[in-house]
Structure formats: structure tokens, C-alpha cells
Chains A and B, each alone.
Chain A
Amino acid sequence: MGASRLAIRLLMVTFAAGLFTGCGNGNFWNWLYRSENDLDVAFEAGNSSRPTAETLYAMARILAAQGRGAECEAVLTRTVREYPRFMPAYCDLAEAQLRSHRTDDAIRTLEAGLRISPRDPILLNNIGMCWFLKGDYDKCLAMFTRAAGVVPQNARYRANMAMALGMQGRYEEALSLYKQVLPEADAHYNLGVLCESRGDGDRAIEEHARSEDLRG
């Protein structure tokens, strides 16, 4: 009786440990039966190998969260140099450059990523955002259109296209795109905001009024 209770308790502890370590690919059992020597070998191997793209990227994110922008940028620059196919690093590096008001550098970074992965919609969209910040709405629209072409079901890319078109005064086209991805009242409201930023007060009032009507 005592032996069976002990066995049951042992089982409970084992499965509880499984909860914490995960038993998906047998990791838990490997972990349970690793020898001291195995651990030393693994530690040495990890110590002498260069960091992976994921490790560098995680480190950069920690640095960014700590507000250590320059160090974060240095780590991301290293990530891009050592792992040019690791796309998330391009976006984060460009973001860091944008934070320090270096829009041209951000565009160059994203374009470098685009040379590796020419149809990456996130890179395309982000370059579009950079051109938007520079006030070049033609280039911005071209980039958003390419992003929307790659992922036509992505509402954000279409809404960004609408924003670029609205800023060019192409209201009808902007409204049609907004209506594809938003309720009609929101579409008119957004267009009203764009009209305001262009200094088109009359049209902005008209669009906001239309939006209010539609909301009832």
C-alpha cells in the first residue's frame, strides 16, 4: 500500500514538472536524464558559438525597452550585417532610426531588406510610411499599393493607400478604399481628418457631417 502511494506521488511530481518544462518533443525526459557532463559540454558549446539572429534580436528589443537606443541600434545593425535574411531586424532598425529622426537612413535600411526580399509586404508598407513622413505621397502610395498587391486581404495596407490618396486630394479614391475596410461612417470620418490636415476645411466639415448622419 505504502509503495503504491509512493509511486503515485512520484508520478504526480513527474507530471507537475512536465507542466513547467513542456513535454512536446520529449524535452522534459532529456532534461530529466541529462548528466553533469552533458550540461558542461552544452554550456561550452553555447559559450563559444556566435549569437543567433534571434538572440541578437531579443537583446535589441530588451535594449530598446530600456531606452538604450544607441546600443539597440548597434545590435540591430550587427544583426542585419551578420544575418541579412533575418527580416524583422530591418524593420526594428528602421524604427530606431526613425525615432532619432533619421528618415533617410530608415528608408535605406528598409530598401536593403527589400533587395533581399523584394515582395515583403511589411518592408514595403514601412517604406511607404517613411515616404509619408517625408511628405512624398506619390512614392508613399506606390509602396502601399505594392504591399496591398502582395496581400490584397490586408485591411491596413488598403487603409494606408487611402491615406496617401487622401493626402493627394484624391478623395473619391480614398473614400472607396476606406469603404472596403471600414464602416461607411468611419470611412467618411477618416476622410474628414485627412481633409483637415490638408487644410481643406469645407470638405472636412462635409465629411464629418456625413459621418455623423450615418451614425444616426
Chain B
Amino acid sequence: MKQVILVTLIALTGLAAGCETTDRGVRKDVNTQLVNWYNDAAINGAIVAQHTLYPYHFVANGAALNELGERDVDVLAAHYKEHPGNLSVRQGDVAAALYEARVNTVVERMVQAGVEKERISISDALPGGDGMISEHVLTVLERAQKKPTSSLGGAGLQTRP
């Protein structure tokens, strides 16, 4: 009887060990996906808490969002659809005209994502949660609505080595 139990145990161990090579790749993929998922949730949370877009989100010297910018704006849009509020777009050292074009780009993408334009307020302010410190609030949304979108040279260009 003992020998039968022993054989059964060895058989089960052999099955487990034999299948390990096949499963290892799958397990690695699952672990990678899990880590990405946790990272994704943490990064998305930080993006919403900061609710700020920076020059690095845009194509260099252009008004278009780069791939990372599009993705981060989509994260914000998903939040603003349910919880509208203030959004900061930092001007950095770009000219006012280019800054305005960038704001228009963000507004257009938000609207496309289903955010009601009237329920978000865009300014150039430092990031933060409640009690956001305002440097020089611009509230450019109204201006953007009145003026046509300016098309700027250089939009879409990116520095490449």
C-alpha cells in the first residue's frame, strides 16, 4: 500500500516537473501582465492626481500631442467624463500662440473622448490636488472657443537622431 502511495506521489511530482518547462513561459507572461497592470493603475492615478499636461506631452515645437501625450490625455478624459474639473496645461517656454494651439488640441481630444467642454476649466497652473497653487491662471478655454484653431509650422515634427 505504501509503495502504491509512493508511486502515485512520484507520478504527480513527475507530471508537475514535466509540465514546468511549458508553463514557465505562460507564467512569465502572466507575471509581466500583472506588473504592467499594477504599474498602469499607479501611473494613471498619479496622472489624474496631477491633472497637468506638460510640454513633454507635445511634439517638439508643435501643437500635436505625441504618443505619450495622447495616452495621458485619454487617461484624463476618462476621469473628466465622470468627474469634471480643472485641468492644467503648462506653457513652459513656448510662445503664446503655440501654447494656445496646444490647449486647443487637448480640448479637441477631450471632446472627442466624450468630455463636455463646458465642464472643464483649463489653466496654466502648477500641479497638485485640492488647493492647487495658481501661477498665472489663463483660462484660455473661452478664448479658444472664440478664435479659430491656429495651425502652426513644425506640428508633427519630432527630433530624431
Given A15-B10, A111-B161, check contact A172 B43 (CB 8 Å): no
How far does the Cβ of A14 sit from chain B's closest Cβ, in whole Å? Answer: 8
Q: Which of B17-25, B79-87, B98-106 contacts A (4 or more CB under 8 A)?
A: B17-25
B161–A25 CB distance below 8 A: no
How far does the Cβ of A179 sit from chain B's closest Cβ, in whole Å? Answer: 6
A176–B67 CB distance below 8 A: no
Q: In this complex, what residue of A is CB-closest to B35?
A: A153
Residues of B within 8 A of A177 (CB): 56
* Count of chain B residues near A, Cβ 8 A: 43
How far does the Cβ of A128 sit from chain B's closest Cβ, in whole Å? Answer: 9
B39–A154 CB distance below 8 A: yes
Q: In this complex, what residue of A is CB-closest to B24?
A: A24
Given A24-B21, A155-B39, check contact A173 B7 (CB 8 Å): no
Contact pattern, A 134-167, Cβ under 8 Å of B = 1, otherwise 0: 0010110111011011101111001001000100
Q: In this complex, what residue of A is CB-closest to B47?
A: A180
Residues of B within 8 A of A173 (CB): 54-56, 90, 92
Most A CB contacts (10 A, CB to CB) among B14, B36, B126 go to B14
Residues of B within 8 A of A75 (CB): none
Residues of B within 8 A of A142 (CB): 60, 158-161
A18–B17 CB distance below 8 A: yes
Q: In this complex, what residue of B is CB-closest to A18?
A: B14
Q: Which of A50-90 contact B (CB under 8 A)?
A: none
Contact of A195 with B by CB under 8 A: no
How far does the Cβ of A30 sit from chain B's closest Cβ, in whole Å? Answer: 13
A153–B127 CB distance below 8 A: no
Interchain CB contact (< 8 A) of A149 among B6, B22, B47, B67: B67
Q: Which of A21-39 contact B (CB under 8 A)?
A: 22-25, 28
Given A15-B10, A18-B18, check contact A150 B67 (CB 8 Å): yes
A158–B52 CB distance below 8 A: no
Contact of A127 with B by CB under 8 A: yes
Contact pattern, B 1-30, Cβ under 8 Å of A = 1, otherwise 0: 001101100110111011111100000000
Given A8-B7, A153-B36, check contact A22 B21 (CB 8 Å): yes
Given A23-B15, A145-B56, A173-B54, check contact A180 B43 (CB 8 Å): yes
Interchain CB contact (< 8 A) of B18 among A22, A131, A158, A172: A22
A23–B18 CB distance below 8 A: yes
A152–B11 CB distance below 8 A: no
Q: In this complex, what residue of A is CB-closest to B50?
A: A176
How far does the Cβ of B113 sit from chain A's closest Cβ, in whole Å? Answer: 16
Contact of A11 with B by CB under 8 A: yes
Residues of A within 8 A of B7 (CB): 8, 11-12, 15
Complex: A153 Cα to B41 Cα, angstroms: 8
Residues of B within 8 A of A153 (CB): 36-37, 39-40, 43
16 cross-chain CB contacts under 8 A: A8-B3, A12-B7, A15-B7, A18-B17, A18-B18, A22-B17, A24-B18, A24-B20, A28-B18, A142-B161, A145-B67, A153-B40, A165-B56, A176-B54, A180-B43, A180-B46
- Which 8 pairs across A and B sit closest by C-beta, in order of nearness? A149-B67, A23-B18, A15-B14, A153-B40, A180-B46, A149-B68, A24-B22, A18-B14
Given contacts A23-B14, A153-B40, A155-B39, 4 further A-B pairs with CB under 8 A are A15-B10, A172-B54, A180-B43, A181-B43
